Amino acid sequence: MDVFIRLLNSLLMILGPLTLGIVMVRRWKLGWRLFFLGAATFIGSQVLHIPFNQFIVLPYMEKLGLIGNNEVSALVLYGLVLGLSAGVFEEGARYLVYRVWLSDVRRWKEAVLYGAGHGGVEAILLGGLALYAFFQATAYRNADLSELVPPSQLELAKAQIEAYWLAPWYDALIGALERAFAVIIQISLAILVFQAVARRKILWLFLAVGWHTTVDALAVFGIQRWGVYLTEAVVAGFALISLAMILFLRKRPVVMHEGLEEVDASLLIPDLPAQPRKLDLSKERLENSRYDPDA
């Protein structure tokens, strides 16, 4: 049972986003271009984001004494800096892709599929790492570690393998659950950035960066102060709010016209009566109108 649950966690992280992509592509008949561009956007953003954190953000925060400091103020600042870094790079990359490669995107469902690719590839990559850890822990479970690792790392390796297999089954599924929440949040961010491009209002991009920063900052803070379960409950709350944003913005579509300002699609077609009005061609009506063509 332990082996199955841990393997299931990895497979859900990998196959879940792919299944979501298949359902969206088939139902909306949009093709895989948007999903793969979303995936490429995440990977491209990390090419710059990871070195920026590694060589600039983390050394500077270490110099300020924020790393390893569990005081509330230090953790808040630490989480905000990391969250802002992620928000600027990922949402900035999304905005650039919308402007350069996805200038033809006009519909809510296209932004949803694009966001699913962005969050989906993140889940797939983390699922791949989890799957690698599973195979490694399985191989080392009954092996003689003294023949596989240096003596200086032997005790640490034993402790890691033991902790991996002693974790309860529900802990083993937290990774897949957290990735499901993250995909929903990433879709909401993709829709917010889409609003910035479609409505030509940069405020929406700032909202996306702010929402990304808030989610990441509280996750970083929570994992240090509240533990895994309460932090995941908070992330679940963010996912529910993100889902509400996704559905709300679906009701407010935007149609763009070349050379014109944005137009709310709900204003393009006036409300029609529930029942079509019938023409009154009775004799009395014709006589009263005296055959006026405008009657």
Q: How many domains does the chain have?
A: 1
Structural domain including 184 reads: 2-270
**251 vs 15, more confident:** 15
Tokens linked to 13: 């992280």
In a domain, 284, yes or no: no
In the predicted structure, residue 292 carries a pLDDT above the cut 60: no
> What number of other Cβ atoms are within 10 A of residue 268's Cβ?
9
Is 294 a member of any domain?
Answer: no
Would residue 291 count as lying in a domain? no
Residue 281 lies in a domain: no
Which is higher by pLDDT, 127 or 276?
A: 127
52 to 44, 48, 89, 109, 273: CA distances (angstroms) = 13, 6, 10, 33, 58
Tens of pLDDT along 11-70? Answer: 999 999 999 999 999 999 999 999 999 999 999 999 999 999 999 999 999 999 999 898
Mean pLDDT computed over 163-174: 91
Answer whether residue 85 is part of any domain. Answer: yes
Residue 17 lies in a domain: yes
What is 84-117 written as a DSSP string?
Answer: HHHHHHHHHHHHHHHHHT-TT--SHHHHHHHHHH
pTM of the model: 0.85
* The pLDDT of residue 293: 39
252 in a domain, yes or no? yes
pLDDT at 105 over 60: yes
Average pLDDT, the chain: 88
Does 223 map to a domain?
Answer: yes
Q: Tens digits of per-residue pLDDT, 116-149?
A: 999 999 999 999 999 999 999 999 888 888 888 8
- Over its C-alpha atoms, the chain yields an Rg (Å, rounded) of 26
